[in-house]
Structures are given as C-alpha cells and as structure tokens.
Amino acid sequence: MTNKKQKISNQELADQIDDYKFGFKTNHQAKFDTGVGLNEEVIRKISAHKNEPEWMLNNRLKALRIFNEKPLPNWGGNLKEIEFEKIHYYMQPADKQNKDWEEVPKEIKNTFDKLGIPQAERKYLAGVGAQFESEMVYHNLQETLAKKGVLFEGTDAALQKYPEFFKEYFGKVIPARDNKFAALNTAVWSGGSFIYVPKGVYIELPLQAYFRINAEFMGQFERTLIIADEGSSVHYVEGCTAPTYSSQSLHSAVVEVICKKGAKVQYTTIQNWSNNVYNLVTKRARCDENATMFWLDCNLGSRLTMKYPSVYLMGRGSKAEILSVAFAGKGQHQDAGAKVIHAAPDTSSTITAKSLSKDGGRSTYRGLQQVLPGATGVKSRVVCDALLLDDHSRSDTYPTMDVQENDASMAHEATVTKISEDQLFYLQSRGFSEAEAGALIVNGFIDPIVKILPMEYALEMNKLIEMEMSRSVG
Amino acid sequence: MLSIKNLSVSINDEKILENFNLEIKKGETHIIMGPNGSGKSTLCYAIMGHPKYKITSGKIEFNGQNILEMPTDERARAGLFLAFQYPKEVPGITFGNFLRQSSNVKLKESGEKVLSPMEYFKIAKELIEKVDLDKSMIGRGVNEGFSGGEKKRAEIVQMAALKPKLSLIDEIDSGLDIDSLKKVAQSIEEIKSETGMSTILITHYQRLLNYMNFDFIHIMKNGKIVKTGGKELVEDLEKNGYQNF
C-alpha cells in the first residue's frame, strides 16, 4: 500500500512476483506461548496472562464447551483436514502494545515496514492498528479524534479500560452459540480492534488494522467490536497476510458491529492470505432505525474461506449493502456470500457478489435474504456474477430466500460467464499478451467494485488481481 | 511485405483453405471477394493466429519473418491488425482506456514513453470524432451495447490508434448504411495515406469499392483464389455474380 509500489511498471511487477508476494517469514521468538492444542488449561492461561476479569474467563470456558459440543458444519468447504490439535492458540509476540512505532520490536517492525503499514498511516489514515500473531503490537489514533471521544484500541486493552462497553455489547450480536467457529473465537479470542464513535462524530479518513500471521501452525482469533453511536459515521479497513508454509494455519475472527440510530458504518476487508490458511470468519452487524451498514469484502488467497457478512436490520428504515469479491485460484475454495435479515419495516438491502475462478479454483456464493413477520415495505436485491477463467474451474450459487410478508420486493439475478477463446483472441490481436488480456477481462469484471474503493485500496486491489493473474499463467 | 505460400488451414479437421497463395507489397490494397463459405474470414483468422484455425501446411512470412510460430499478440506487435466482422465485448473496460492501453503496449515495445490517461484523452477524442462518433464513446465499455455501426467504426478507431503495417479488414461494410459506409471507407483511405499501410479488405458487396482505392481484386472460391484482376472484375461481378468463377 505504499506509494513507492505504484511507480513499478506492470512488467517489473510481473517479473518480480510469480508467487505470493507476502509469503516471506520473519524470524521471531514469541514472548509467551500456550503450546499446541486446546483445552481448559490453555484458556485459563490465556485469560490469566491477559489479567482478565473473571466474567470474561467464564465466558471463554463456556464457549469452549460449546465449541467441543458442536459438530463441524457439513456444508461449505472441506473442514475435515484442519488439525485442531496441532494449532498454537495463543502466541504473544511483544511485551506490550505500543503507540510509538519506534518501540515495536525490530523484527516485527521490519515485517510491517515491508508491508507498508506505518507509511500508509501518515498519508491517508485516521488511525492504525497492527496485529502480529495473537496480539496488537501497535495502535494509534489521530489526536483530534481522541479529543472528540473516539476510542480506537486493541480489544484486549479496551477490555481493561472500558469494561462497561464489553458487558453491554460483547457477544451480543454474535453469541458463542451462533456457530462452531464463533464459539472457538469466543473461547480463545485475542487482539482485534475496539472502536467507539460518539454521537454525531463523523470520521472522514478510514481507520485501519493490519493482521499478520507469522508462525507455522498458528491460529489467529482476533475479536473486533465496533460501536457507532447515534448519527455517527466510521469507515474501518482491515488487511491480512501470512507467510507461505506447507503446514496449515487457522484464522477465525469474530466481528460485531452495532450501528445505532442513523449511524453509518463501512467495513472494508482486503484479505490476501497465503494458500495454507483456513479462513473461517463470522461478521455481523445490527442496525437500529435509519442506520446503514456497508460490508465490502474482498477475499483473495487462503485454502478455504467461509465467510458471509451479515446485517440484522432491526430498526425501521435501516439499510444494508454488501459487496463481496472472491478470487479462487489453484487449490482454493472461496465459499463466500452475505446474509440480510429484515426484522423491521421499510428496510432495504443490496447484495452484490462477484467471484472469479481460475486454475481449478472453486468459488461459491451462499446467501440469505430473509423478511420476518411485521417487516413490511422491504426491498432486497441480490446480484451474483461469476467469471470462470478456464474449463476446469468451478462456480456454484446457493441463494436462500425466506419472505414472510406479502409486500416485499425481492430480486435475485445471477450470471455465469466464461472467458472465451474468441474474447482472448480479440484482445491479443490488439497486442496484449494472454496474461494481460486475461487481466483486462478480470479488471473489467470487478470494476464496479474497485470503482467504489478508496483510491489507495483500489490500487492495492488492482495489484493483487494482477498478481493472481500472473501466477502460473498458461 | 506479406507472403503466403501453399497455405492449408483446417477447423475441426475440416479443410477450409487449400494451397492458398498471396503476395502483398508495402502500401498495396488487395480486395478479396467471394461467396459465403469460400474461406475469406478463415484467411484473416489464420494470418492473425486464432488457435482454432490449424495450419496443416504452407507458410506465412511478414516482413521476412515466419509468423506461424508467433502467438497472436506478437503478430499484432509486429504490425498486423485485424478489424473484426464481429468485435467482442469487454465489459467494465472503457473504450478510451482500452485504446490507451493497447497504444501503450506498442509504445512500450518500441521503448517509448507510455501515455497517461490525461495525455491520451486528447488523442482518443480526436480519433473517435474523426469517424463521426461522439466522444462519450471514451467512457463506454468496449463494444458494450454498441450498435452494429458503432462497432465497425470503433474497429477503425483502433486501427487509426495502432497504425498497423498491414490491416486485415473483415466485412467492415456488413450492416452499415450508405453514409456510414462512405465514412468508414474514407477513414480507411486516410489511414492508408497517412501511414502507408498495406490492406487486405474482405467484402461481399461491390458498393464499398466505389469509395476505395485498390490495386487488386481476388475472387475466392472453395478456399482458393480463382481469379485476380483489377477494377474491370467489379463490373463483371455486378452483371454475372460468382457463378462464372
């Protein structure tokens, strides 16, 4: 995300990266580690190490029992190969969370430098968090926003400082019982961002957090809680990468967003995990009267992603917009989608899902549009487009509609397109190489989504797509 | 400039061209006419290297270079251009951006500085207005929702932008009204006189020839040239059709 990178020509870029660019490893000795595997003892260790209030420990233990009881989902992707007993559930990289970048341990700092994190902050962000393994190593917010009462902290630090918010909101939008991986996260959560935006405060620039897995067999379980008070507005962006290992890693986050009356929240994810990461994330927002939630979810990389950002429209006139892009390359399965539950009258939602499958990759759209009794005057629309880049890739669509009011206006459109030999030939006859031609078609396909990304992220997204396209072409 | 010797081409094991021969010198315009299914479009695709068209024997040299070994994009960068009878859509990529990027591929190839969107805007606007299209074309997806006439003119715009050494023009006149036809013919003539490009123009109809300068007409039938001549052939065809050949 640095400006430096923008000056590199396409050719140089193609030369440099014939593989996952963020796959480098950092030699780093953890300060504290609970070892491999998961049991009550591990949970007690994590909680004690974090010096948590007892209610949180009990919350964790209860969630562990739910995790153990619940079977693996028998839908979505293949979860049977996850070796839960080999995973490190907690790894502390540094002694404390820093506000000064210079105080972050050198090798961790170098990692984020390579990823362009601190430079990005100075240029176009209102605040930045950086998580390495299990903990936030850096968190900072513009002073002007802090003065207005905006809170932007690592979730662990926030639990210590503002327990009242946690008692009221933690686990309320996504209870541990929601699904097996929400239970896992609730049991072992660590890190993530906590954001509180006071009434009427409008944050212009995005807040960003960056998540990095470095160790082998690492499990990252960040927990993010965003509370946008009445009439406030915030845009939060998260980016994720990991080194390339032959062994697996597990990323299982929970994100809860509360949009109070008239609030607007945008949550943008640009995720580019290496191919060994299982990415099983639960994201959900609740909207009160006239509030707006906007999920923009870009899923690249990972071995398997199962993620369906959801919005519960609880107040009259509230709105949900969900845009999802998934790119499934060789050996990858992107099982992504969106859910909107209309629980109040005059609520509206739009879901746009675009998926690309290449080199045998598989992408799935799985979605839900639900209108509950009493929710009259609902409008909901789903547009689902899939692009197949070759014959041996795959795309499936599983839309579910459950409408319990007669006057709801519901729409679902789906298209599947395959890049044709004739289309490639047309572009090649203009001098574009096969890879450039493919990239053009792909860029055109995702253009409606890239167009609405902030400039810096649009550039980043285009670069990531270009990288995916230049990987094992032909 | 272009030398085709004993070329045989098949699609799905069906022989379309057989021992086809053609020589084109710099700056020459050759018209190819013939009934449907005589192999005219196949000739274009084979020269440009469409993967479906298998060359079973013979050779094609372009400026002394054997191009049969080259992928389509290399042939294009060497100076060949095909104006398609049915141009393809590229949704989401604007026509202006497409023009700029394809021009930049060429500039990069010759080691020149590539053009930014701002720098290219003026060029694109001029090229587009030259064929009587509105400049708003710049912002529309490539061939997306273009009318038949717009597609054909957009092909000519691309030809003007890329300044090829040799253009293959495949039935540019089909689906054009008489005014558009004149405009397109005039634009091709302008590009020819500006760049000295050679041209192979395929057409069904004599009327396009009223507005064009050309050196030879070839009549194709069953994958071969059966007759080569000049203007006098047009009148013959006008009277008797293809039956005499």
What average pLDDT does the structure give for chain A? 88
Convert the pLDDT of each residue in A263-309 to its tens digit.
999 999 988 888 889 999 999 999 999 999 999 999 988 999 999 99
Output the pLDDT for position A20.
60
- Residue carrying structure tokens 């395929």: B202
**Pair of tokens at residue B55:** 């060359």
Within-domain flag for A449: no
3-state secondary structure of A397: strand
Q: Which of B82, B101, B142 sits opposite A429 (nearest CB)?
A: B82
For residue B59, the domain's CATH number is: 3.40.50.300
Output the pLDDT for position B215.
95
Q: Does B125 touch chain A (CB under 8 A)?
A: no
Average pLDDT over residues A91-109: 79
- Mean pLDDT by groups of 10 residues along chain B of 245 residues: 95 92 96 91 96 95 94 96 95 92 90 88 91 90 92 96 96 87 93 96 88 94 92 83 78
Within-domain flag for B225: yes
Chain A residues touching B164 at Cβ < 8 A: none
Residue A56 φ/ψ, nearest 5 degrees: -70, -40
Q: Which of A425, A427, A443 sits opposite B50 (nearest CB)?
A: A425
Within-domain flag for B154: no
Contacts for A75 with CB less than 8 Å, ≥ 6 apart: none
Q: How far is CA B194 from the centre of its chain?
A: 17
Output the pLDDT for position A214.
80
Within-domain flag for A470: no
Residue A358 φ/ψ, nearest 5 degrees: -145, 150
Q: How many domains, in total, are found in chain A?
A: 1
What is the DSSP track for A139-194?
EEE-HHHHHTT-EEEEHHHHHHH-HHHHHHHTTTSS-GGG-HHHHHHHHH----EE
Within-domain flag for A471: no
Strands A223-228 and A254-259: parallel
CB contact under 8 A, B105 and A421: no
A215: how many CB neighbours lie within 10 A of its CB? 22
Convert the pLDDT of each residue in A323-347 to its tens digit.
999 999 999 999 999 999 999 999 9
Between the two ends of chain B, the Cα-to-Cα distance in Å is 28
Q: Which of B77, B81, B93 sits opposite A443 (nearest CB)?
A: B93
Strands A319-328 and A348-357: parallel
Whether A434 and A473 have beta carbons less than 8 Å apart is answered as yes
CB contact under 8 A, A440 and B108: no
Chain A residues touching B76 at Cβ < 8 A: 428-431
Contacts for A294 with CB less than 8 Å, ≥ 6 apart: A264, A265, A266, A267, A320, A321, A322, A323
Q: Running DSSP on this structure, what letter comes out for residue B86?
A: S
Within-domain flag for B146: no
Within-domain flag for A329: yes
Q: What is the value of ipTM here, to two decimals? A: 0.96
Domain containing A296: what range? 23-427
Within-domain flag for B50: yes
Convert the pLDDT of each residue in A106-125 to its tens digit.
878 787 777 776 666 666 77
Within-domain flag for B223: yes
3-state secondary structure of B103: helix
Within the 157-196 window of chain B, which residues sit less than 8 Å (CB to CB) from chain A? 158, 162
CB contact under 8 A, B162 and A431: yes
Domain containing B23: what range? 2-90+163-240
Contacts for B86 with CB less than 8 Å, ≥ 6 apart: none
Q: Does B202 touch chain A (CB under 8 A)?
A: no
Which of B12, B72, B169 has the most A C-beta neighbours within 10 Å, making it the best mutation to test the interface with A?
B72
Within-domain flag for A464: no
pTM across the whole model: 0.83
Whether B9 and B53 have beta carbons less than 8 Å apart is answered as yes
Residue B45: closest CA among chain A residues belongs to which residue?
Answer: A425
CB contact under 8 A, B91 and A444: yes
Whether B6 and B46 have beta carbons less than 8 Å apart is answered as no
Residue B89: closest CA among chain A residues belongs to which residue?
Answer: A423
Q: How many domains, in total, are found in chain B?
A: 1
Of the candidates A283, A151, A293, which has an alpha carbon nearest to the alpha carbon of residue A224? A283
Q: Does B116 touch chain A (CB under 8 A)?
A: no
CB contact under 8 A, A422 and B158: no
Within-domain flag for B27: yes
Q: Does B84 touch chain A (CB under 8 A)?
A: yes
Chain B residues touching A448 at Cβ < 8 A: 92
